Structure 1
Amino acid sequence: MKTISTQVPAVDKAVRILHFLAQHDGATYSQIYQGLSLPQSSTSTLLASLVANGLLRQHEGKYFLGLMLYEFGSKSVEQFNLRELAAESLIYLRDKTHLACHLGVLDGNSAIYLAKLESPNAIMVKSWLGKRLSLHCSGLGKVLLAWLPEDKIDELLPDEQLPRHTNHTITTKTAFKKALAEVRKNGWAFDDGEDLEGITCIAVPVFDHSGNVVAAISSSGVAFQMPADKVKSFAQYAIEAATLLTQKIK
């Protein structure tokens, strides 16, 4: 890590600590000040301030990056004109699948559409910019949650019982977490009529330079437009589209 010195030393030290923790799976107070050759007293005060402001969290004697940084990262990507950057990816996915394609992000306790390209087919999925989706029963929601820390998932989904939207909806958090593990394993999520009966969706994560999921790209259609024998190939198209956007963000 390149050390940068400005006229605000406290900020410089805070940034060095954040970089240090980004490269380690948690670190103790002594590991931080010794590893960075920082004064003990001022480091202790600085760590306490970073924890109080949500930039760090403390657990079992170690310090970790705080979830506030994830929120800042998500917002910075939005301000980086994510919709404009995603245009090429959405066109690619629409042309490959001939389905409605969306770009979505996590906003509070739901997923929200930032961009949409309509399907060229006569049969269309009803959706709109700004539409909010339930996290536990949408492809976008699954992808946006799958790479989050477990405590953040519990914060967003505090109850064990989850609302049922269709007969295919996952209705317990325990089962949903198992489904998220499968999403991480596969690299993509599938909504098999879990939010709306007869509507299917494939979603893939978009990562920033730190490996955080900042958005998701999806393709949606009625069930017969996405038959079982085409799901994997459609997922591959979505992965290619999301990878294209990830490369632009990085």
Structure 2
Amino acid sequence: MGQPSSAERPGDSGQSGIGVVDKSVAILASVALAPRALADLVAATDLPRATAHRLAVALEAHRLLARDAEGRFILGPRLGELAAALPDPVVAAAGPVLAWVRDECGESAQLYRRDGAERVCVAAAERAHGLRTTVPLGTRLPLNAGSGAQVLCAWSDPASLVGVETFSERSLAEVRRRGWAQSIGQREAGVASVSAPVLSPEGELLAAISVSGPIERLGRSPGTRLAPLLTRGAHRITTSLAT
């Protein structure tokens, strides 16, 4: 008998010793690097042609692999679906912080993420009683209005904003200098909001944490009162992600 291939040796790093699993993972790892025709897949994995074909077709049946326009194997849509089903650590960390912010100030709190030319509400803690501003989960809003949009634009790579309708560089520089943003009737008449950036432990922008409510309650300068609370809340999320 010949020597087993690298995808078959149980003693190799990352090998489970269960041949069909190790070979399937080798195929997925290879395709993740570049689209593969069958011949390329055989060369990259050192698997017999019949084995590589059989496993690749099986993975395709489970939508873990797919084919591009040239018939080459590429990663399939089910991988993204499985990844999307995993708990989101930022949203999980933000949940109790949003509730704390809401309880401290008595107003609705939200967490927004940027998605291209829009921002998306990915978490919220609504005010239980009285007049409130409700932003349903999944709500998409433009990046050219509101304090949350100001924050997401101010801490984004300027190159990623090319072609996106947003704010002036001067106003965004002022937001960065202050460390927070406020808006008065900017996105919706009668509504005020304050937002601060949520950064990763490495300092990269993750989201914007916001408080919104009627102008009659928040006033014309809501940042003076609410910005310290929001920046503390943002720091709490960052700290939670670091542990």
Shift of the 141–79 alpha-carbon distance from structure 1 to 2, 3 Å rule, reads farther
Partner of 1:185: 177
Partner of 2:233: 241
Partner of 1:91: 99
Partner of 1:205: 197
Listed as ranges, the matches of 1:1-250 within 5 Å are 80-155=88-163, 157=164, 162=165, 176-228=168-220, 230-250=222-242
Where 1:129 maps in the other structure, the secondary structure is coil
Shift of the 79–214 alpha-carbon distance from structure 1 to 2, 3 Å rule, reads farther
Where 2:132 maps in the other structure, the secondary structure is coil
Q: Deviations over 1:87-132 (max 9, x none)?
A: 2210111011111100111112100001111113310113200001
Matches of 1:189 and 1:231, distance apart in 2: 7
8 A Cα contact 1:136 1:176, kept in partner: no
Matches of 2:199 and 2:220, distance apart in 1: 27
8 A Cα contact 1:139 1:189, kept in partner: yes
Shift, 1:79, TM fit = 5.3
Partner of 2:35: none
* Amino-acid identity (%): 25
Matches of 2:240 and 2:111, distance apart in 1: 15
Q: Deviations over 1:63-107 (max 9, x none)?
A: xxxxxxxxxxxx99x954322211221011101111110011111
Shift, 1:231, TM fit = 3.0
Shift, 1:210, TM fit = 2.1
Q: Deviations over 1:160-189 (max 9, x none)?
A: xx5xxxxxxxxxx5x622111111001001
The one-letter amino acid paired with 2:177 is: K
Where 1:231 maps in the other structure, the secondary structure is helix
The one-letter amino acid paired with 1:84 is: A
Q: Deviations over 1:5-25 (max 9, x none)?
A: xx8xxxxxxxxxxxxxxxxxx
The one-letter amino acid paired with 2:109 is: C
Q: Deviations over 1:197-228 (max 9, x none)?
A: 11111111110122111111100001011113
The one-letter amino acid paired with 2:147 is: G
Matches of 1:119 and 1:79, distance apart in 2: 25
Could you say what the CA RMSD is over the residues aligned between the two structures, in angstroms? 2.4
Partner of 1:72: none
Shift, 1:229, TM fit = 5.5
Unmatched tracts of structure 1, length 5 or more: 1-6, 8-74, 163-172
Matches of 1:230 and 1:121, distance apart in 2: 20
Unmatched tracts of structure 2, length 5 or more: 1-12, 14-82
8 A Cα contact 2:89 2:241, kept in partner: no
Matches of 2:222 and 2:201, distance apart in 1: 31
Matches of 2:182 and 2:174, distance apart in 1: 10
8 A Cα contact 2:108 2:134, kept in partner: no
Partner of 1:59: none
Shift of the 188–126 alpha-carbon distance from structure 1 to 2, 3 Å rule, reads same
8 A Cα contact 1:202 1:234, kept in partner: yes
Matches of 1:121 and 1:227, distance apart in 2: 19
Shift of the 100–146 alpha-carbon distance from structure 1 to 2, 3 Å rule, reads same
Where 1:217 maps in the other structure, the secondary structure is strand
